[in-house]
């Protein structure tokens, strides 16, 4: 059996040249725990930070935006329900203290709020006022200063709650997470020669007709290393040059493009052989940034 020895970096591989010869199958790669999944989700959990809950509550708006949809809808529903019940109870308490509940159908009596004589009617008056429906059947009279003050407080509180929750829902719906699902990356990256240079290459494409303006791509190599001083860095990040100096990282993404990283003396892959690449524990994270022309986000 004739055989040739082909050099890959520092290692050699035996290659059969006989026709009909069977080649050994490629080694099966072990599934490793990824730092960043294919869908862009980071597998990082923070713990034992100290005062973690207070830190999240200090930026409540961002916390609500980052929550899952089911929790957002639950908070949205509970906030409005509790606010409606509390404000309706306050209108009922005013009517109860003034004695309006005992003169509900007395035409000669002037109540604080006309035609409010029990809790359901107070709740309906609040909903009509908050939603500016105004059927005209229930209204505040001029002989109720406490009702006027409560009406002003209700208007201010309702505007704040509406702006906070509706703004949160709008920001969450406009997040570009779903837009990223139509950006396709090649399943595997390859090392091959291009223009006489050894390069690491992968492809990226946009499935939608809406273009991405000012699209820029970056690559990060995440790998553990030890410094000459003996310090161990578990998740050290190293930038991979994909054309920063030449402007090749600025993409006109109207068709699938091949992204190329030249393996030169400045590349972290320069001193690695084929066997080392298979055995090394590292991960390449690709970051694609851009503005969608239809939404501007």
Q: Is the pLDDT reported for residue 27 higher than 60?
A: no
Q: What is the mean pLDDT of the chain?
A: 80
Distance separating alpha carbons of residues 172 and 257, to the nearest angstrom: 30
The helix-helix angle for 69-98 and 145-173 (nearest 10°) equals 170
Residues 146-163 have a mean pLDDT of 89
Give the number of other CB atoms < 10 A from CB of residue 251.
20
Residues 2-25 have a mean pLDDT of 45
pLDDT in tens, 221-241: 888 888 888 889 888 888 899
Contacts of residue 254, defined as CB under 8 A and 6 or more positions apart, other chains included, come to 206, 211
Give the residue, 100 or 71, on which the prediction is more confident.
71
pLDDT in tens, 252-276: 888 889 999 999 988 888 888 878 7
Domains of the chain: 67-174 (1.10.287.70), 180-292 (2.60.40.1400)
Give the residue, 62 or 33, on which the prediction is more confident.
62
Where residue 8 falls among pLDDT bands split at 50, 70, 90?
very low
User: Which residues are 185's β-sheet partners?
Assistant: 204
Specify the pTM.
Answer: 0.59
Where residue 169 falls among pLDDT bands split at 50, 70, 90?
confident
Dihedral (CA of 187, 188, 189, 191) sign: negative
Alpha helices in 2-144 (DSSP H): 52-58, 60-66, 69-98, 119-130
Helix/strand/coil for 69: helix
Residues 116-137 have a mean pLDDT of 84
Where residue 297 falls among pLDDT bands split at 50, 70, 90?
low
Distance separating alpha carbons of residues 164 and 233, to the nearest angstrom: 41
């Amino acid at each position: 059996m004739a055989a040739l020895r082909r050099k890959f970096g520092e290692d050699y591989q035996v290659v059969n040249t006989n026709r009909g010869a069977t080649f050994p199958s490629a080694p099966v790669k072990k599934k490793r725990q990824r730092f960043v999944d294919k869908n862009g989700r980071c597998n990082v959990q923070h713990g034992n930070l100290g005062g973690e809950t207070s830190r999240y509550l200090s930026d409540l708006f961002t916390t609500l935006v980052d929550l899952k949809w089911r929790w957002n809808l639950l908070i949205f529903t509970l906030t409005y329900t509790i606010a409606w019940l509390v404000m309706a109870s306050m209108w009922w308490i005013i009517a109860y203290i003034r004695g309006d509940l005992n003169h509900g159908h007395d035409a000669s009596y002037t109540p604080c709020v006309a035609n409010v004589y029990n809790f359901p009617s107070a709740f309906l008056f609040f909903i009509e006022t908050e939603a500016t429906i105004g059927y005209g059947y229930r209204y505040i009279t001029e002989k109720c200063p406490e009702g006027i003050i409560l009406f002003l407080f209700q208007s201010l509180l309702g505007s704040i709650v509406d702006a906070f929750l509706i703004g949160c829902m709008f920001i969450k719906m406009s997040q570009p997470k779903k837009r990223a699902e139509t950006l396709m990356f090649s399943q595997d990256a390859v090392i091959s020669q291009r223009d006489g240079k050894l390069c690491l290459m992968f492809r990226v494409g946009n499935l939608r007709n809406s273009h991405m303006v000012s699209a820029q791509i970056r690559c990060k190599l995440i790998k553990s290393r030890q410094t000459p001083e003996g310090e161990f860095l578990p998740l050290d990040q190293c930038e991979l040059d994909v054309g920063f100096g030449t402007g090749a990282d600025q993409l006109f993404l109207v068709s699938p493009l091949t992204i190329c990283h030249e393996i030169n003396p400045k590349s972290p892959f320069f001193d690695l052989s084929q066997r080392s690449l298979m055995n090394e524990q590292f991960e390449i994270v690709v970051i694609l940034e851009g503005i969608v022309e239809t939404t501007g986000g």
